Every structure is written in C-alpha cells, then in structure tokens.
Structure 1
C-alpha cells in the first residue's frame, strides 16, 4: 500500500491518536534524583528546591542522550533546580535552552509552615504519623495540612500543560518536571481521582499524544534507558 493509499483512520485510531497526522507529542521527563533533606527533622524550607544528587546528574545525562536521537522541537521545564537541570541536559543536544514555566513546579507540601521549622516540631510526631498513614491509603495531597490543595495543584498543572499544547500544535515537546505534575496531568486525561496513582522513576519518560480534541496516553514510566550496570541508575 502506497502512502497515497493509506487507510482511513478507524475509531480506535481516532480515540488513541494512532496513525493520525499532525498530532502533538508530549514527552514528560521526571527530574533526576535530588538531595533529600528530611522535612520531619530539618527545616522545611530546605526541602522545596534541592539540587540534583550525583546520581541524579548521571540520570539527567542519560535521558538527555536517549532523547538526543529524536527530533525535539522545544523543551519546557519547571523552575526548580532538579527539573531545570534535567531539562537542560535534554535541550543541550538540540542547541536550545528550556523554556521555564512556573506552574510546572511540584506540589507545595508544607509550604505554609515557617521555613525555619521542621514538620515534626511544628505539627507533632503523632499528627505527622497520622498524615503519612492517610496518604498511604488515600493518595490525596489534601491529607497534608499547611499545603497547596489537590484542586489548586491539578488546576495549575493541567492548565500549564494545556497552554503548552495550544502553542505547539504538531510538535514534539519535552516537559521536564516532577512526579506530582506527571500524575496530575495523566490522571486528569485518563480520569483517575488519586493525586498519585503511580510512582514515576527519576528521569523516566511518559508520553501523551494530543490532537483533534483528544488526549491519549501512549506510554508510562519508561526506564529502559536507565538499565545500565544492573539497574544502578533506576531510583524513585
């Protein structure tokens, strides 16, 4: 069959944007592993914007190399250090700089606790343990007091991604961001109520297609590019 004789798209092609021309491809990349201060015992202010760890820097370089062989039209990134540096590792192979979008930043847990106080000092050990148990069962950001709400977080992140789609019709777009952001957008398009329904690995790749008013999940949490030295670059 020649290209001119290509078949008419069927219902599932239209529903999942397979074999459809002119679609926008969103490549979500979670940031590399970060230095992780303990918010329970250390000041919460130190947990909001940590840099990449040594392993995180390696992960970012590997995902950048993985995407270096693909056509990439534009790279967007969260302003937080761990995501922005990951985005730069992708963008540098394509001689571009990431476009920073503030609303791609991670969920702001404990943002209203004084920055110089620890969570355990401010909330108490009992309440902190209770919150953790609720999150295990409910998987909703609203279990955390003094934090950004689930509704506000999903609204800003979904709006940010939809804005990117509106400006990049038919392009291949990388979005370097956070596990919460990826869960929020993918959960929105597939109708999942949990705020965290899966745990993206550091520098994993998830792909969404957009076109003709449809948003279709293509792949989730791909880590094959990190399968080096017996998975030593896979972390969460």
Structure 2
C-alpha cells in the first residue's frame, strides 16, 4: 500500500497581508524552525526513509519552510507545491497562531468545537482536499511513501472523511506531527495513526 505521511507545518508567526498580496502568509517562528529540524532528523532516521518517493507541500510559506530541512537532509528534489493543499484560511487578511488566539474569537471557538468557521465553504474545501491528496497517492508506486507538509484543517478533513466523522476538525494536531494514511491500489484509504509526536520530546 502507498503511505501518505501527512505533516502539519511548524509553528508560524503572526502576520498580516502585505499590500497587494492575496492574504497573510506567515513564516515559521524560531520554535517552528526547531520543530522542522527535529522532524527532518526523525524522517532521515525512520525505517521507511528509503521508501520516500516524493515530498509535497501546500503553496503557503509556513508549509514550504517546514519541509525545507527534510528536503535538504534527504537530498530530495524541490517539493511540488500544490495550491489545493492550502489551509481554509488562505486569503484571509491576518493570521494568528494557536497560542495567540483570543478565546472570544468566534472563528477560534468554531475551530475548537471541531467545525469550520462561518466563512469556510466546507463541502468545497473538503472536495479539493480529498482530490489533491488522492491524486498524490495515485501517482505513487505501490509501497512508496509520499510526505505531504500541509495544514491541520487539511489533515483533519481528510482523516474525518476516511473515518466517516461528521466534525471535520476533530483531532488536535501538534506542529510537525505526523498522521499516516495507507492507500491501496484500488484507492481504499485507511488511517494508520494520528498526531505522532515522537520527534518532539520536550516540546509538546
């Protein structure tokens, strides 16, 4: 079976959109850089490292920067950046990381309750996430591993669809945590693990 390693990006900074930009696109923080380095070292030493056929990211800066240490350490080609793997908040004028969120914020309340904020078209987001991740799995050789560095909403939505869970944002995911999905040649998906954090000892 093909394995998808779905990796949430490292901790980002707060950001507001630059003039003329489509939305806020934060870099990762110093803590995020350590998380990304730890993930890279873990992946380089993992038993299935030799099976890694491709590293893919969303087009968002926090995902691309999170993947960079693993790309360097594995000597992998430049990752494909896939717009359909972007988070549901892409295009918003500002971004605040989880630890800076205001509990009174209605969007944050919705996310904590496991549902999309009101501004999100849930069915459309779900459809594009499933199509993007299924396409990545479909182009791999059987038994290959694709590493996909993306976002908590993307990973949660995919896992929820596979498991038949109505709440699309069910699982808390740590930054650079790993969620494994196995995909058969017929396209059958199976969730193998959620939110692995063995490389983050002392940081979670």
Which TM-score band applies after superposition, normalised by the shorter structure? Answer: 0.7 to 0.9
Work out whether 1:54 is the aligned partner of 2:30: yes
1:28 Cα shift?
0.7
Unaligned runs of 5+ in 2: 96-103
Quote the residue 1:219 is aligned against: 193
Unaligned runs of 5+ in 1: 1-22, 119-127
Quote the residue 1:4 is aligned against: none
Matches of 1:51 and 1:108, distance apart in 2: 15
Work out whether 1:84 is the aligned partner of 2:84: no
CA RMSD in angstroms comes to 2.6
Higher strand content, 1 or 2: 2
Q: Identify if the C-alpha distance between structure 1 residues 219 and 79 changes in structure 2 by more than 3 Å, giving closer, same or farther.
A: same
Residues 137 and 183 of structure 2 are in contact (CA less than 8 Å); yes or no, is this contact kept in structure 1? yes
Q: Which has the larger radius of gyration?
A: 1
Deviations 1:127-161 (A, max 9, x none): x7555545544x221x42xx331111111111100
Matches of 2:175 and 2:39, distance apart in 1: 10
Give TM-score, length-normalised by structure 1: 0.71
The aligned runs of 1:1-236 (5 Å cut-off) are 23-37=1-15, 48-69=24-45, 70-71=49-50, 72-96=52-76, 97-108=78-89, 111=92, 115=93, 129=105, 132-137=108-113, 139-141=114-116, 143-144=117-118, 147-170=119-142, 171-211=144-184, 212-227=186-201, 231=202, 233-234=203-204
1:105 Cα shift?
0.6
1:98 Cα shift?
1.1
Tell me, what secondary structure is at the counterpart of 1:198? Answer: coil
Deviations 1:160-189 (A, max 9, x none): 001101111311110000000000111111
